[in-house]
Structure 1
Amino acid sequence: MGLYTLAAARAELARLRPLLDELVAVRADTAELAAALAPGGPPTTLGGLPEWKASAARLDELVTEVQQGGVQLKGLAPLLLDFPADLDGVPVLLCWLEGDPDLAWFHRADLGFAGRRRLP
């Protein structure tokens, strides 16, 4: 996909919300299983190596699915999504961080997250 309008990016974020919620849950399970599999790791009721492999595979599937529409997944923990856009003739990335209630931030691509500002 090319550039997103703000409306299209918000619609895409709304469509992705169930996937993002699952991604957060699977991310936590994968981390817990990985810790349990480490030498001396704490026990977990989630399972063992087969469950970790399945969880890691599902995590990869979810990441791929999130990115299929042109969304850039910049961070996994916390989730950080960027939607390529144009704001008043300037190339920007509309930016959503896990926990944000809405898509309300942007930054120039060359500044990254440090240049994050509220949308006008």
Structure 2
Amino acid sequence: MAQARALVPEVREHAAEIVRLRADLAELALDLRTAGESAFGGMAEAKSYEARIDEHVGWFTDQGIEIKGIAPFLIDFPSTLDGRSVRLCWLEGDTELAWFHRTELGFAGRRPLP
């Protein structure tokens, strides 16, 4: 758990960038579909946003962190608690790692860390 908590500052940085890129890409895609142009660019820029998101996603997977969702951004750190397999759960906007759920339950079983 200490190792996961030590990664939280970097998690927050990478997550913030994913959230920003995700929003820009969503707006770009909507503009292109509805108006045919966007202040965010065109198809080349859309591909660039996707590639940059993938780079940040790669950082998480390289750390052994499971990405459960992009919107909202939700990740799990595999761990054990009291001898049970759990996932330490971090959701976009969380300031610290304060939640867990049993591996078999997923988000519906989310509880505050003891």
TM-score, structure 1 length as denominator? 0.88
**Higher-helix-fraction structure:** 2
Q: Name the structure 2 match of 1:9.
A: 4
Q: Name the structure 2 match of 1:59.
A: 53
Q: Name the structure 2 match of 1:30.
A: 25
Return 5+ residue gaps in structure 1 as ranges: 1-5
Match of 2:96 among 97, 102, 105: 102
Q: Deviations over 1:33-90 (max 9, x none)?
A: 111222x347531111111111111111111112111000101011101000000100
**Following the alignment from structure 1 to structure 2, what is the Cα–Cα distance between the partners of residues 17 and 99?**
8
User: Offset of 1:16 from its aligned partner?
Assistant: 2.4
Return 5+ residue gaps in structure 2 as ranges: none
Give structure 1 regions of 4+ aligned residues with deviation exceeding 3 angstroms: none
Q: Over aligned residue pairs, what C-alpha RMSD do you find?
A: 1.3
More contact order relative to length (CA 8 Å, sep ≥ 6): 1
User: How many residues in Structure 1 have an aligned counterpart in Structure 2?
Assistant: 114
Q: Name the structure 1 match of 2:81.
A: 87
